[in-house]
Each structure stands twice: as structure tokens, then as C-alpha cells.
Structure 1
Amino acid sequence: MTFRVMLVDDQELVLHGIASLISTDATIDILGTFTSGQACLDALSIGDYPDVILLDVNMPDLRGPEVFKRIQAICDKPVIFLTTFDDHALFRQSYDLHAAGILSKNISKEKLIESIQRVARGEKLYNNKILNSSNLLTPRETEIARSLMRGLTTKEIAQEQALSPGTVRNYLSNLFGKLEARNRSEALVKLNERGLL
């Protein structure tokens, strides 16, 4: 059985490297490679759908999550996010988006092919131990992180979330700890790098 795969990554070297690796397997047929989310969406709009889409989380034109939502509106095909960062928050957020999974770009060829095959057969790639990790952002922390990304002050976040400023400061402290950030600026950099918020 052959599984048709689309690859989306803004870095051409990474894109073609992954394509050449997985295409050596007899079960993988590369349907298309794209350096932008929009190019992938344009191809899907024609109606030739893959069995699995490998999608970079952090791209300059359209972020992975936004591309994912638009893909689902077109064809509802399984998406595996690819990331440079081995981050618990990314795992949680991709799970909440109902993606098929999220994999590190330094994954072995064998593991990547196995993951594509599993997802094409309808499986998910999430590990319950990872999802239940204390390093994952809670839904409230995710909302506060989004407010942080929008540039809101602690007082403004408190008003928006109907919380006291002290409670927001506690959430921010927990958030910074999970992101391994020393302050708001570092947290913003890390959230932006990870691209799922």
C-alpha cells in the first residue's frame, strides 16, 4: 500500500532533505513539496489530496496552526506538525488543535516513515505521558500566553480574564517556568519561536 504525502517547510534544504529521505521507502509517494503554507493550500484547492501532510510549525507567511485550520476546511486530511523545538507546550497545543501528531525535525528516517504510515492508517502519535506532563501549559496559561503575545499588561490580562492581578502574576510565573524564561521578554521570544500560540 502506498501513502501519498505533502511536505510544507519554508527552508528548502530541510524540505528537500526530508522528501529525499522518505521517498526511498516503497510505501511513500511524495505528492508535493511546498515552501509556504499558501502554496500548499493552493495545491489542495485543486482537489488532489494526500493521505498525510507534514507541516512546519513556524513559517513566515502563514504559521503552521493557521495553515492547519485552513487545510481542515478544505479536505480534513491528517497533519503532522514538524518542529525544531522539543517543547511540551507545542505537544499540548498541537493535540488541542486535533493534529495527528507533532515530531521533531531531528527524528530518524525510520521513525518518520513509521509515523507517516501510522497516521495514514488513522492513528494519532501522542504519548499520554507527554500530554500529562507538568511542563505543559494549562488552558488558562495558554490564554494568558496569547494575551501576552498581544502585548497586554498584567492589569489588562486580569481584566480580560476576570482575574485579580495577583492571580495573573502567579500564572505568569508558572508560564515563565515552563518556558524556561526569566522574564516577559524571554517568554515572548520563546512563544514566538514556537509559533503555536
Structure 2
Amino acid sequence: MIKVLIADDQELIRESLKIVLGANEDMEVTGTAENGEEVLSQVKKEKPDVILMDIRMPGIDGVECTRLVKERYPDIYIIVLTTFDDDEYIFGALKYGASGYLLKGISMKNLAEAIRTVVSGKAMINPDITDKVVKLFNHMAQGSYSIQVDNALTEELTKTEWKVIQKIGCGMSNKEIASELALSEGTVRNYLSSVLSKLELRDRTQLAIWAVQTGAVNRYI
């Protein structure tokens, strides 16, 4: 059973999501919150698996709340819900470890699938904003959002792992990488897990930023 916490400052959205998601046999909505303070209180009591996090909330907004939750409870997955023009918030949400970035208005069926996807350990970005997020990776990598990796750690990477890093840096999904490299999705997931372990990085987002920042996306292999 996947335990979900819903955070949104609009009561109608909170209650609608609670009803619809609660209808899934594999999901339980453990609580709702209208601001970041309530999220932190609920998380402490309920320990949800996933938080649906509205990016714009009064007080502690979704970005800061993502940072605080991931610092204290790194195993909790966070899916950020946003509108298309929330560019200024995407930097922080990705930097601090959000596993998903979805547009409000996504169908309930697709939202439920997104929750299952992040719980399985994959990132989930709404297809409509994938290009925007890739551009933001570049901006983040060239700005103050620096991801540091000891050069000695990269010596353990294999040729195929470098190829996977390149594709992730270009914003490709596991399915797209599998097609490009003639591998199964399961094999790509295994390579990704190995790369994260070798480079001592937390997640796919950090790896993508590092790949752009260091020029790994343009590395000749």
C-alpha cells in the first residue's frame, strides 16, 4: 500500500485528490496539508511514502518544504505539482530532490501512474515540460547549483555507464536510453544505480546536472 500525503493550499484540490487517489486499491491518502508547516507536522506523524507537493503555498512554499522533508526523511518521494509558468521554482525543487514534476491538470489516471513510477525509483516529469526542464538543467549546471564529484570516482565508470550518463544529461528517460543503446529498461536501471553508487550521488537529477556541468554530455566515447 502506497501512503500519500496531499499538500495544496486549495481545499477543493486537496479533497478532490483525496477522493480520487483513495479509490486506488494500492493507495491510501494518510492526510492533507494546506501549507509547508502542516506538511512537516503530518510527515512526522504519518511517514508517507509520497508527498504531492503544491509548489506555491503560503509560509513555507513547496521548494523549501521539499528541502526540509528530504533533509529529514530522504526516503520519502516528492512529486511537485505546478503550473506551466512556475519556472523560478523548478530550480529548487529539482535541486532539493523532488522525484517528479507534474503540471496541474494532469489526468487522475496519469497522476496515479506517476505515483507508482516514483515509488519504483524512477523520476517522473510531465512530457509537456520535459524540454523546459532539460534547459533548466543547463542553467543550473552553469550557475550556482553546483554538484561536486571527486574525479577519482569517475575512473571506475565503464564505457557503457558513460553513455548512460550522457543520455541522462540530455534528459532522456530509461525507455529512450534503452532504445538508443539497444538495452532493456531493466539493464538501464541497473547501470543508473551503479553510476549513482560509484559517483556517490543521491539521484538522477543530481547526475543530470553534474553531466551538463562537467561537459559529460559532450564527452567522446
**Shorter-chain-normalised TM-score: which range?**
0.5 to 0.7
Alignment of 1:21-170 (within 5 A): 21-46=20-45, 48-76=46-74, 77-85=76-84, 90-126=89-125, 129-133=131-135, 137-139=139-141
- The question of whether the paired residues in 2 share the 8 Å contact of 1:89 and 1:136 is answered with no
SS at match of 1:31: strand
Q: TM-score when scaled to structure 2?
A: 0.56
- After TM superposition, give the deviation of residue 120 of structure 1 in Å: 1.3
Equivalents in 2 of 1:134, 1:71: separation in Å?
23
What are the ranges of 5 or more consecutive residues in structure 2 without an aligned counterpart? 146-221
Q: TM-score when scaled to structure 1?
A: 0.62
2:185 corresponds to = none
Q: How many residues align?
A: 141
- After TM superposition, give the deviation of residue 130 of structure 1 in Å: 4.5
- After TM superposition, give the deviation of residue 112 of structure 1 in Å: 0.1
SS at match of 1:62: coil
One-letter code aligned to 2:35: S
- The question of whether the paired residues in 2 share the 8 Å contact of 1:94 and 1:101 is answered with no
One-letter code aligned to 2:134: N
One-letter code aligned to 1:21: V
Q: Deviations over 1:38-86 (max 9, x none)?
A: 112112223x311111110001111111111111232221101111235
- After TM superposition, give the deviation of residue 90 of structure 1 in Å: 4.7
Q: Deviations over 1:71-113 (max 9, x none)?
A: 1232221101111235566545432222101111100011100
Equivalents in 2 of 1:113, 1:90: separation in Å?
23
Computed over aligned residues only, the root mean square deviation of the Cα atoms, in angstroms, reads 2.6
SS at match of 1:33: strand
SS at match of 1:133: helix
SS at match of 1:132: helix
SS at match of 1:99: coil
- After TM superposition, give the deviation of residue 131 of structure 1 in Å: 3.3
Equivalents in 2 of 1:116, 1:93: separation in Å?
20
SS at match of 1:4: strand
One-letter code aligned to 2:133: L
- The question of whether the paired residues in 1 share the 8 Å contact of 2:70 and 2:97 is answered with no
Cα gap change, 1:112 to 1:134, in 2 (>3 Å):
closer
- The question of whether the paired residues in 1 share the 8 Å contact of 2:35 and 2:61 is answered with no
Cα gap change, 1:141 to 1:89, in 2 (>3 Å):
farther
Equivalents in 2 of 1:8, 1:134: separation in Å?
25
Equivalents in 2 of 1:104, 1:33: separation in Å?
19
1:8 corresponds to = 7
